[in-house]
Structure 1
Amino acid sequence: MFKILAKINKAVLPSYSKQRLDLARATKLQKAIIAWRYFITCKALDETNK
């Protein structure tokens, strides 16, 4: 399930690392998107290691 969400995230949500976003100047929405992508990526990696 998390693998599918990770693929959707990659296709739909913006990649702030490619845009060189400064985390100190990121808005709350941008920080929430970053946290969501991080959470899903970690869960997808845990799923593959089991």
Structure 2
Amino acid sequence: MADADTRTETTLAAPPDLDEDAILSGLVELSMAMARAFQAEALAALQAGDLDRA
């Protein structure tokens, strides 16, 4: 085992696709907008005293 080669080869990854970055960015923005809307509905229900909807 003392003669085993311990070197590892590193393969380079392809650069990120700009279209993919734009799609992912759009999905993040969409999810944040959906989260804000969900929270706003829950807060409105809570303030109205409707605990079933909150």
Q: Normalised by the size of structure 1, how large is the TM-score?
A: 0.46
Larger relative contact order (Cα-Cα within 8 Å, sequence gap ≥ 6): 1
Larger radius of gyration: 2
Q: Normalised by the size of structure 2, how large is the TM-score?
A: 0.42
Q: Which has the higher helix share?
A: 1
